[in-house]
Amino acid sequence: MTSTTTNIPPHKAIILAAGVGSRIRPMTDNCPKTLLEVAGIPILERMLTNIRLCGIDEIIIVLGYLSEQIESFVRERFPDLNAKFIVNTRYDKTNTGYSLMLTEEAVGDSGFVKFDGDVVFEVEILQRLLSSDRSNQLCFDRNIQLDAEEVKVRLSTGTTVAEVSKSLPPSKAIGESIGIEKISAETAKLLFAELKSMMSNPQNLQEYYEGAYELLIAKSARFEALDITGLAWTEIDTHDDFESATRIFG
């Protein structure tokens, strides 16, 4: 459980794209957030292109809000993609922890790279993550103004993650987790067990997947932080985020 290295890069990717995107309405009234165009390219198209460029050949996409639009887009734009679609029918009552839990069967005995469906990023970020010899790793950016909305990262020693949470005080954090993580096959099994345990309590249905990461860390699982400061990325939650993404990638 404390192993930190692996010689086998993940060949599966998980994209969490079930959310409503309520904070960026009316842009998402009739369009899922992951299909919004940033500098003329839909978020999901840029993500899938980067994933394929890095050699990952199996994609698991969790859908919810306007799921038919996303599935149709992927099938039409990437007809030869090895994609599996999982619909979170409770997307309006649950959060990312529940959506990630639903991928257990599709993941099987593999490790994976997980992406939030609203992250726009340059391919070098994923290249660095996959070339690292660390088994469990999350990407973070130091050059971020941290407040309540950001998923913040605290390190214990070196690059070892001690906490990853929105509730972490900014003064204790080293940066923001960008929503892209690499999880080993060994840790994936433990992660899904934690997620199922969490979601068995209805009070946890709105929990984020980072809550399960923290439970694993508390049980001695090792997560490392990969500093991608200076590389281009943004998570799109608000209209300001969208304008920022357009500037960065335009």
Domain boundaries, the chain: 12-249
Q: What would you measure as the largest C-alpha separation in the chain, in angstroms?
A: 47
Q: Residues 6 or more apart from 25 whose CB is under 8 A from it? A: none
pLDDT for 68-78, tens place per residue?
999 999 999 99
Q: What is the pLDDT of residue 9?
A: 67
pLDDT for 88-145, tens place per residue?
999 999 999 999 999 999 999 999 999 999 999 999 999 999 999 898 999 999 877 7
Closest CA to 105 of 215, 188, 40: 188
Q: What is the pLDDT of residue 146?
A: 65
The ranges of the chain with pLDDT < 70 are 1-9, 146, 148
Per CATH, domain 12-249 is 3.90.550.10: yes
- 3-class state of residue 242 by DSSP: helix
Predicted TM-score of the model (pTM): 0.92
User: What ranges make up the beta strands (E) of the chain?
Assistant: 12-17, 37-38, 41-42, 58-63, 83-87, 112-116, 119-121, 137-141, 152-155, 161-165, 175-183, 224-227, 233-235
